[in-house]
Amino acid sequence: MKAINAFTFVALFPFLLLSEVTFAGYGGSYFRSLRDDHTIPEKCREVELDNFATYDLETFTYGPIGAQNRGFTYEYPIRRDDARLLWDLGRMVVERGDIESAMWRLKSNPEALRDFQIMMDLYQEMDFNFHSEGEVLEILSIVETSKKLSDEFYVTGSVAYSDKVAGELDLMIGRKSDCQIFSIGEAKLGLKSLNHAHEQLERFKSFLKKHIHKILNPFDLQNY
């Protein structure tokens, strides 16, 4: 699996060092957080336009085993069948609270058991309900990405946005001190879903381009 290096992330985003920019007064009305994620600062849980310093965000994609050979940025070491099993077990825990039975079903699958334990440790705090199979990869990719970043940053997702067209983002990387978001991502269990992931990311960037009143001047970077 391709390593996610914190230095690489930071190096890719020089505008993190820039001062606050001014946006039109849209507030947070275009965004809605689909999860109440308690693993990130409370002030960052509701996304607003002024959390974005530019519409030209860096993007990344996550997939299961074999995803990088298909062009995904990163892959998590999970098979599609195991993801489906973990989804079923996750729903069982949410509906019945029966973690012991779920773990018993995984006793002969140590990799899936490892991932299930990660999910169980965090799903409530992250407010995942396992309504869709894709949430399994979302939570695991958030955890994997977070491990590679310094404590200065947070990873979240499940953010809906809309004006005339509605959309949703799986993953966002931001800075804890001021909630500035500098990277967005999509997690897809289907190896043939890369084009769809790219379309979703570009649609969000187009949405930002439409609504951000002021964007950074690249020449301003010379002053830093």
pLDDT in tens, 127-168: 999 999 999 999 999 999 999 999 999 999 999 998 776 899
**Could you list the residue range(s) of the whole structural domain that residue 175 is in?**
27-210
pLDDT of residue 213: 56
* pLDDT confidence band for 79 (50 / 70 / 90): very high
d(Cα 61, Cα 185) in Å, to the nearest integer? 5
Average pLDDT over residues 1-5: 46
Domain presence at residue 129: yes
Buried residues in 165-202 as b, exposed as e (16+ CB within 10 A): eebebbbbbbbeeebbbbbbbbbbbebebbeebeebbe
The answer to the question of residue 165 being in a domain is: yes
Task: Say which amino acid occupies 130.
Answer: F
Structural domain contains residue 48: yes
Number of structural domains the chain divides into: 1
SS3 218: helix
160-203 tens-digit pLDDT: 998 776 899 999 999 999 999 999 999 999 999 999 999 999 99
- 160 domain-assigned: yes
What is this structure's pTM?
Answer: 0.81
Q: Mean pLDDT in the chain?
A: 85
Q: Evaluate whether 176 touches 41 at the Cβ level (below 8 Å).
A: yes
Residue 4 lies in a domain: no
Report if residue 176 sits inside a domain. yes
Q: Is 131 helix (H, G, I), strand (E, B) or coil?
A: coil
For residue 6, the model assigns a pLDDT of: 46
Domain membership flag for residue 68? yes
Is the Cβ–Cβ distance between 63 and 75 less than 8 Å? yes
The verdict on residue 6 lying in a domain is: no
